[in-house]
């Protein structure tokens, strides 16, 4: 009897907080779209790939000035050279990515064979290792060159992350990413959603909080704060650390699943990397 | 005001003097029983940190605090080491509790389905 | 220019710190200085950082995530209630983005008391 009462109470509680785990990826996407649409009724859908500058007018002016002499250009050039320089065994990136270099739109995707989310940086390192080359570090350094080049060549492709129905593990990975996004972490007790959904558009000290929809479209990103180009997982690390949570491993399962969930929320937006940010 | 600052300065001097004698005592005493206590506190902190980590609830600075506690212990700064170890321990416990309280995914009510 | 500014800032910070330490033994009985220390703690980015979200007194560059902290005494019946909000805002509002300053030991108990003293005057 007591147990039944408890279950009832639990049911009522869950209902009160809105639908929880039952929602499908499509329903999630629709709910996010509706939320941002209501919060920013004047922002055109296709503008979300400009990140925080879709809503920060002053920031946008500075950013547009920066984009006239893009700080990420040398990195694109260095990446092009990497793409065109053969590995020690005579092969090259082209042999791993026959459709390349404009391939960013295919990532992240569910890889049924390995049973995991495949991201572009992971695929790049798989290619290097398969050809006897040393893998690249995932946050800083030359990986950003090759990623900048691929991103630049992929501009205009449309984000289309699929959660295939024929492998339940794909939905599981997506759900793990979702759980991550709404989980409070760190001494300061924030979830990603607190800053990028709940208080989006507001100003934290002097920083405008940008919508999560559109976040992954322009990576890697040149950040003035970094003085260089960095990967998406480097940025995840930063957003974990600023709430005083211990960050996770770049390209580990947690961040890959997070990327899978998050990028799905940008479906329909054009890729426009590499980007430039404060 | 003048009187107050004189008193404060005197107090400060006194504190400093006390502090340095304490330090001297620290570095002389070979088998200070406090070393063992601090070591225990550090081990407890480490266990709490690992427990938090096992549920993805570890905080950013806990490991660093434990590291600093170890260094302070090695330098014979027992008070400092103890304080750091206790704080790290608390962080481990709180990080674990936080993660446990977040076990269920809860979609906030502002998202309309 | 920014160098000079930050030097002045550091100097000011040091003075406050020194003044803080020196005044400590007397401060306990001294409400005014608890308020002053509370203000410094509230604005310190590594401590309260309340300004990140709240407009608060004359603090520069406040955020706008949370309601301005004004007329506290008309909103809170006593300091304990106010302290409870700052200790753990999620007790009252499970969705609150406000960090649980006391519960998560972001500031110490004594520091929290001083912050309460300051906020109470707003």
Query: Annotation-wise, does A192 bind a ligand?
Result: yes
- Find, among B82, A180, B52, A207, the residue nearest to C104 by Cα: B52
Distance CA(C52)–CA(A177), nearest Å, equals 28
For residue A90 the two structure tokens come to 């005579």
User: What are the domain boundaries of chain C?
Assistant: 27-119
Distance CA(A218)–CA(A210), nearest Å, equals 14
Distance CA(B92)–CA(B72), nearest Å, equals 20
| pLDDT tens readout for residues A26-42 | 999 999 999 999 999 99
Q: Computed from CA positions of residues A136, A142, A146, A147, in that sequence, does the dihedral angle turn out positive or negative?
A: positive
Residue A38 placed within a domain: yes
Q: CB-based contacts of A81: which residues, under 8 Å, 6+ apart?
A: none
Distance CA(C88)–CA(C98), nearest Å, equals 8
B62 → chain A, closest CA residue: A246
Model confidence at A278, pLDDT cuts 50, 70, 90, reads confident
Q: Do A197 and B110 touch (CB under 8 A)?
A: yes
Same domain, B58 and B72: yes
SS3 at position A104: helix
Same domain, B84 and B109: yes
Q: Which is more confident, C4 or A223? A: A223
Domain boundary among A99, A131, A153: A153
Mutate to test the interface with A, among C42, C60, C94, C99 (most CBs of A within 10 A): C99
pLDDT of residue A183: 97
Model confidence at A54, pLDDT cuts 50, 70, 90, reads confident
Same domain, B60 and B97: yes
pLDDT of residue B9: 54
Strands (E), chain A: 109-111, 116-118, 203-204, 207-208, 221-223, 228-230, 275-277
| pLDDT tens readout for residues B2-20 | 556 655 554 544 444 444 4
Residue A2 CA, distance from chain mean position: 45
Cis bond before residue A220 (omega within 30° of 0): yes
Same domain, B81 and B108: yes
Residue A225 placed within a domain: yes
- A202 contacts in C (CB within 8 Å)? 63-65
Same domain, A187 and A261: yes
Model confidence at C116, pLDDT cuts 50, 70, 90, reads very high
Query: Annotation-wise, does A256 bind a ligand?
Result: no
Return the partners of chain A (3 or more C-beta pairs < 8 Å): B, C
For residue C119 the two structure tokens come to 């906020």
Catalytic residue among A239, A248, A253, A267: A239
Residue C53 has pLDDT above 50, yes or no: yes
β-bridge mates for residue C56, sequence order? C69
Query: Annotation-wise, does A235 bind a ligand?
Result: yes
Model confidence at A206, pLDDT cuts 50, 70, 90, reads confident
pLDDT of residue B30: 56
| pLDDT tens readout for residues B22-50 | 444 444 445 688 999 999 999 999 999 99
| Eight-class DSSP state of A47 | G
pLDDT of residue A197: 96
A197 → chain C, closest CA residue: C97
Domain housing B96: 32-113
Query: Annotation-wise, does A8 bind a ligand?
Result: no
Same domain, B17 and B53: no
| Average predicted confidence (pLDDT) for chain B | 84
Could you give the angle at the alpha carbon of B78 between the alpha carbons of B76 and B80, nearest 5°? 115
Same domain, B16 and B37: no
Q: Do B107 and A247 touch (CB under 8 A)?
A: no
Could you give the angle at the alpha carbon of A162 between the alpha carbons of A161 and A164, nearest 5°? 160
C75 has a chain A CB within 8 A of its CB: no
Residue A160 placed within a domain: no
Candidates A31, A193, A254; nearest CB to B113: A31
Distance CA(C89)–CA(B49), nearest Å, equals 25
A24 has a chain B CB within 8 A of its CB: no
Distance CA(B87)–CA(C73), nearest Å, equals 33
Q: Do A202 and C97 touch (CB under 8 A)?
A: no
Could you give the angle at the alpha carbon of A189 between the alpha carbons of A195 and A8, nearest 5°? 95
| Eight-class DSSP state of A29 | H
Cis bond before residue A108 (omega within 30° of 0): yes
CB atoms within 10 A of CB A272: 18
- A20 contacts in C (CB within 8 Å)? none
Tell me the mean pLDDT in the region A193-210: 92
Q: Catalytic annotation on A239?
A: yes
SS3 at position B101: helix
Candidates C22, C26, C103; nearest CB to B12: C22
Distance CA(A146)–CA(A87), nearest Å, equals 14
- A29 contacts in B (CB within 8 Å)? none
pLDDT of residue A12: 38
Candidates B8, B87, B108; nearest CB to C23: B8
Same domain, B16 and B38: no
Could you give the number of structural domains in chain A?
A: 2
Q: Computed from CA positions of residues C31, C35, C36, C38, in that sequence, does the dihedral angle turn out positive or negative?
A: positive
Same domain, A170 and A264: yes
Provide DSSP, chain C.
Answer: -HHHHHHHHHHHHHHHHHHHHHHHHHHTT-HHHHHHHHHHHHH-TTTT-GGGT--BTT-SS--SSS--B--HHHH-SSHHHHHHHHH-GGGT-TT--S--TTTTTSS-HHHHHHHHHHHHT-
Provide DSSP, B39-74.
Answer: HHHHHHHHHHHHHHHHTT--BSSHHHHHHHHHHHHH
Q: Which is more confident, A105 or C20? A: A105
For residue C9 the two structure tokens come to 């800032």
A182 has a chain B CB within 8 A of its CB: yes
- CATH code where residue A46 lies: 1.10.760.10
The CA distance from C28 to the nearest CA of chain A, in Å, is: 29
Residue A3 has pLDDT above 50, yes or no: no
Distance CA(A258)–CA(A185), nearest Å, equals 14
Domain housing A123: 73-153
Mutate to test the interface with C, among B8, B92, B96 (most CBs of C within 10 A): B8
CATH architecture designation of domain C27-119: Orthogonal Bundle (1.10)
Domain boundary among A105, A131, A153: A153
Distance CA(A150)–CA(A271), nearest Å, equals 11
SS3 at position A83: helix
| Cα radius of gyration rounded to whole Å, chain A | 20
Return the partners of chain C (3 or more C-beta pairs < 8 Å): A, B
Same domain, A36 and A121: no
Share of chain A above pLDDT 70, in %: 92
Query: Annotation-wise, does A215 bind a ligand?
Result: no
pLDDT of residue A93: 97
- Find, among C56, C28, C27, the residue nearest to C43 by Cα: C56
Q: Which is more confident, A231 or A3? A: A231
Same domain, B13 and B54: no
Residue A158 placed within a domain: no
Mean pLDDT lowest among A183-187, B78-82, C42-46: C42-46
Residue B25 CA, distance from chain mean position: 22
pLDDT of residue B8: 59
- Contact, A93 vs A101, CB < 8 A? yes
The CA distance from A201 to the nearest CA of chain C, in Å, is: 9
Same domain, A62 and A185: yes
Same domain, A203 and A187: yes
pTM, full prediction: 0.85
Could you give the number of structural domains in chain B?
A: 2
SS3 at position B35: helix
Q: Do C104 and B94 touch (CB under 8 A)?
A: yes
Model confidence at A102, pLDDT cuts 50, 70, 90, reads very high
Please, which residues 52-91 of chain B have a Cβ atom closer than 8 Å to chain C?
Answer: 87, 90-91
Query: Annotation-wise, does A185 bind a ligand?
Result: no
C51 → chain A, closest CA residue: A205
Please, which residues 229-248 of chain A have a Cβ atom closer than 8 Å to chain B?
Answer: 240-241, 244-248
Candidates C49, C63, C100; nearest CB to A203: C63
C108 → chain B, closest CA residue: B87
Question: What's the Cα-to-Cα distance from A9 to each of A6, A16, B45, B105, C46, rounded to whole Å?
Answer: 5, 11, 37, 17, 40
Same domain, B3 and B58: no
Candidates A188, A198, A204; nearest CB to C63: A204
Same domain, A173 and A52: yes
pLDDT of residue B14: 45
């Amino acid at each position: 009897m007591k147990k039944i009462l408890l279950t009832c109470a639990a049911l009522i509680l869950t209902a009160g907080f809105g639908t929880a785990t039952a929602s499908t990826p499509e329903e999630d996407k629709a709910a996010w779209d509706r939320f941002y649409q209501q919060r920013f009724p004047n922002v055109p859908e296709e503008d979300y790939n400009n990140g925080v500058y879709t809503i920060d007018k002053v920031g946008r002016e500075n950013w547009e000035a920066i984009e006239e002499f893009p700080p990420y250009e040398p990195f694109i050039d260095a990446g092009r050279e990497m793409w065109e320089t053969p590995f020690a065994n005579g092969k090259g990136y082209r042999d791993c990515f026959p459709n390349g270099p404009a391939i960013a739109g295919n990532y992240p995707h569910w890889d049924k064979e390995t049973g995991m989310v495949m991201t572009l940086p992971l695929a790049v390192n798989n290619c290097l290792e398969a050809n006897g080359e040393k893998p690249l570090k995932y946050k800083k350094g030359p990986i950003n060159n090759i990623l900048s080049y691929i991103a630049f060549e992929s501009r205009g492709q449309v984000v289309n992350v699929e959660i295939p129905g024929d492998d339940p593990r794909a939905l599981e990975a997506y759900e793990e990413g979702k759980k991550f996004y709404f989980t409070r972490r760190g001494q300061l007790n924030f979830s990603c959603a607190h800053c990028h959904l709940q208080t989006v558009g507001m100003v934290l000290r002097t920083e405008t909080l940008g919508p999560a929809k559109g976040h992954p479209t322009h990576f890697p990103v040149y950040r003035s704060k970094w003085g260089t180009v960095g990967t998406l997982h480097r940025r995840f690390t930063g957003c974990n650390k600023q709430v005083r949570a211990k960050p996770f491993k770049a390209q580990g399962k947690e961040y890959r699943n997070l990327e899978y969930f998050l990028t799905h929320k940008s479906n329909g937006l054009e890729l426009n990397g590499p980007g430039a940010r404060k | 005001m003048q009187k107050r600052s004189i008193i404060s300065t005197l107090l400060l001097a006194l504190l400093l003097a006390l502090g340095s004698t304490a330090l001297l005592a620290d570095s002389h005493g070979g088998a200070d029983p406090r070393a063992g206590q601090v070591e225990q506190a550090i081990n407890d902190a480490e266990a709490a940190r690992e427990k938090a980590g096992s549920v993805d609830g570890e905080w950013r600075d806990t490991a660093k605090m434990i590291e600093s506690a170890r260094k302070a212990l090695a330098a014979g700064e027992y008070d400092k080491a103890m304080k750091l170890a206790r704080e790290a321990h608390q962080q481990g416990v709180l990080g674990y509790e936080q993660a446990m309280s977040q076990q269920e995914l809860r979609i906030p009510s502002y998202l309309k389905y | 220019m920014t160098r000079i500014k930050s030097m002045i800032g550091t100097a000011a910070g040091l003075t406050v710190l020194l003044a803080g330490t020196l005044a400590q033994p007397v401060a306990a009985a001294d409400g005014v200085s608890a308020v002053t220390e509370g203000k410094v703690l509230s604005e310190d980015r590594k401590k309260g950082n309340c300004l990140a979200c709240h407009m608060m007194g004359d603090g520069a560059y406040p955020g706008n995530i949370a309601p301005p902290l004004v007329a506290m005494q008309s909103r809170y019946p006593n300091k304990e209630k106010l302290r409870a909000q700052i200790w753990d805002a999620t007790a009252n509002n499970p969705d609150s983005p406000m960090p649980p300053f006391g519960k998560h030991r972001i500031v110490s108990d004594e520091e929290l008391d001083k912050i309460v003293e300051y906020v109470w005057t707003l």
